[in-house]
Structure 1
Amino acid sequence: MKLLASLLLIFAGGAYAAERPMQLESVGLENISDMFMPPVSPAVSLLIKAEPVQPEERYFNAYILKAVDYLYSKYGLRGYDINSILTHDIKYHTYGVIPARHAPLTMCVAAQMEVILTAYEIYSRATGDYSVYAYLPKSSFEGLSVTDIKGHIWVNPKFNANGTADALINFGMGERRTFENLKPGDFVNINRTTKTGHAVTFIAYINSTGKVLPKYDPASVVGFKYFSSQGLLAAGKGGFDYRYAVFSVFGCPEMPYKRDCNVIYSADQKMLNTGTMTSPKFWTHVAPKIDADTAADTVLNPDFFDGITTDD
């Protein structure tokens, strides 16, 4: 009690001087605690505004385009062959090697797979993020079943896979983009009036002279520039290269570039398959399942993917 009395004498003045004297016998430790505690401030709510995701962060286009540049400079025009896959063996990080078949020859659907695998490597080295290789097993780029992404890139309507864009979407790695909204580094699968087709990487829209346009303009666009493997078997006459696709409704206008005419324009994704690849942190981990309709492996159609374009 002597301690309590001393404390009360010390704080008897000031703010407490005008108050009614406190009865000593009513003082406890809780009263003293109240005297020393500062007034409680009203709670302050902090609103944390999420930063918007920028397109270059959400999409993989920058790495796809770097892969295109690399493959063209190092493996361009080595020859086209429908029975060949990959221009060179590709290391799948620490999981082994995806072997090439008849390197350095390759064909169009394999070209798109090689673009993706090369973009993997460029991305991993640039960022230090090698988790891309854990998303799908190496075998997914080698097998042709419904659970293998290669089986979808090779095109199989029974898998709901009409092109590379569908393949990426089916495995949670891509999004749909209509033709009018494509960006450089997106993927397109075409059908022609000649009943042939092609798998390509979109580079840019073009006008009737082959001039590259900065964006889609319905009054000017007649087609698009793309990158893939096409042409003839001989080196220098086929393999990784660029072409200028022209929709059949515009005929086949002269231009100082190798053309790919008779391409069918359609809003039907079965005829003109279009879409983009998302960045790894946006992959959703969805995966196709085997059922009675998808039990059989994909079989590549060599007559459809014949590799021949207008000026070959």
Structure 2
Amino acid sequence: MIKLILPLLLLTASFASAAPRPAFNLNSLALHDLRGLALPAAPAVTIPLRAEPAPDERYFNAYILKAVDYLRQNYGLQGYDINSILTHDIQYHDQGVIKARRAPLTMCVAAVMEVILTAYDIYARETGDYSPYAYLPRRSFEGLAITDLKGHIWVNHDFKADGTADALINFGMGERRLFEDLRPGDFVNINRTTRTGHAVVFIGFINKTGKMLAKYDSTVVGFKYFSSQGLREAGKGGFDYRYAVFSKFGCPEMPYKRDCNVIYSTSQLYLNTGTMLAPAFWTGQLPQATGEEGETLLNRSLFNGITTDD
């Protein structure tokens, strides 16, 4: 009898296990059902405290270098003259034109200002962002008061502006960057043992043969730069490159036009260095006038434009 019943029990159990399960019904779930569910582990997610911009997005170097290329190609070697400003008239968006003086000649501090204005234009055309023109009025590139960027680029110790880097910092548009940390498209104001100086755009570090180096190291003797220098005659002066060499390395031969006797110093008074921020990072902190500052007077003997191989 038992032998007959056991197969029947097994057969009944197999039919029960093969019977279709009822459809899932969320409304029929009880708390004890949820407790029994095996849930997959949640994936680990790292949430940044804040979104950091890409390194290049914070700085204006890319547009400064585009401006350098544009000016060298279109207005290069038109001649140097201490009394001239800008190689051509420059439209300041919807605020009118910044007029050139004795174009196409120009000189060094004006050359740096022209690089910045050209970078403005390239940036605005590429991005559709014309906010740089609203940050400072056109007058800031024409006047020489403490509230004018030009008055700081022209160098004025009373304004705490010993170079273009200081000028940009004073207007909330730049940051300090030490010489050893400079990147292409940064700004440098040099002083020489000959009591002359220059305002330039940094292009790269060089060794004693003039070879460009990817970064600063123990073989660096100076740097390649872009600005306006040289003679008044077209083809012999104006926008061009030079190879600056620090005085402690002498004046080594190299197949490029050199600018020797440059003073190396950790003092920003003698070697003024820094970078320009992208417009989104300008702080809005601007110099305020008290009425007692006066205006900048260009030091013509300091910026005479002559370099070693002119």
Q: 1:193 to 1:47 in 2, by over 3 A?
A: same
Q: Which residue does the alignment assign to 2:299?
A: 301
- Cα distance in structure 1, aligned partners of 2:229 and 2:89: 20
> In 2, distance between residues paired with 1:51 and 1:296?
43
Counterpart residue number, 2:21: none
Q: Which residue of 2 aligns with 1:234?
A: 233
Residue 259 of structure 1 aligns with an amino acid whose one-letter code is R
- Show the 5 A alignment for 1:106-121: 106-121=106-121
The CA deviation at 1:48 is 4.4
Q: How many residues align?
A: 269
Amino acid of the structure 1 residue aligned with 2:54: Q
In 2, distance between residues paired with 1:227 and 1:252? 19
Measured after TM superposition, the shift of residue 184 of structure 1 is: 0.1
Q: Which residue of 2 aligns with 1:148?
A: 148
Structure-1 residue corresponding to 2:256: 257
Query: After superposition, where does 1:115-194 map in structure 2 within 5 Å?
Result: 115-194=115-194
RMSD over aligned Cα atoms: 1.5
Runs of 5+ consecutive residues of structure 2 not aligned to the other structure: 1-27, 31-44
Aligned position for 2:219: 220
Question: What amino acid is the match of 1:147?
Answer: T
SS in 1 for 2:120: helix
Tell me whether 1:275 sits opposite 2:279 in the alignment.
no
> Given residue 306 of structure 2, which amino acid in structure 1 is its aligned partner?
I
Q: CA deviation at 1:51?
A: 2.9
> What residue identity is the alignment partner of 1:254?
E
Which residue is 2:15 aligned to? none
2:102 equivalent in structure 1: 102
Which SS does the other structure have where 1:94 is aligned?
Answer: helix
Residues 182-239 of structure 1 deviation map (CA, whole Å, 9 limit, x = unaligned)? 000000000000000000000000000000000000x200000000000000000000
Map Cα deviations across residues 74-132 of structure 1 (whole Å, 9 max, x no partner): 00000000000000000000110000000000000000000000000000000000011
> What secondary structure sits across from 2:209 in the alignment?
coil
Question: What whole-Å deviation, never above 9, does each CA across 1:240-291 have from its counterpart, x for those lacking one?
Answer: 0000000000000000000000000000000000000000000000111223
Q: Secondary structure at the match of 1:188?
A: strand
Runs of 4+ residues over 4 Å off in structure 1: none
1:110-162 deviations in whole A, cap 9, x for unaligned? Answer: 00000000000000000000011000000000000000000000000000000
SS of structure 1 residue aligned to 2:152 = helix
Q: For residue 296 of structure 2, what is the amino acid of its counterpart? A: T
Distance 1:311 1:53, change over 3 A: same
SS of corresponding position for 2:143: coil
Q: What residue ranges of structure 1 are gaps of 5+ in the alignment?
A: 1-13, 17-45
Residue 176 of structure 1 aligns to which amino acid in structure 2?
Answer: R
The whole-number CA distance in structure 2 between the counterparts of 1:278 and 1:61 is 8
Corresponding letter in the other structure for 2:294? A
Task: Please name the residue that 2:23 is paired with.
Answer: none
Counterpart in 1 of 2:64? 64
What letter is aligned with 2:237? G
Partner letter of residue 286 of structure 1? Q
TM-score under structure 2 length normalisation: 0.85
Q: Using the alignment, how far apart are the partners of 1:126 and 1:62 within structure 2?
A: 12
Q: In 1, Cα distance between the equivalents of 2:288 and 2:120? A: 25
1:52 Cα deviation after fit: 2.2
Structure 1 SS opposite 2:95: coil
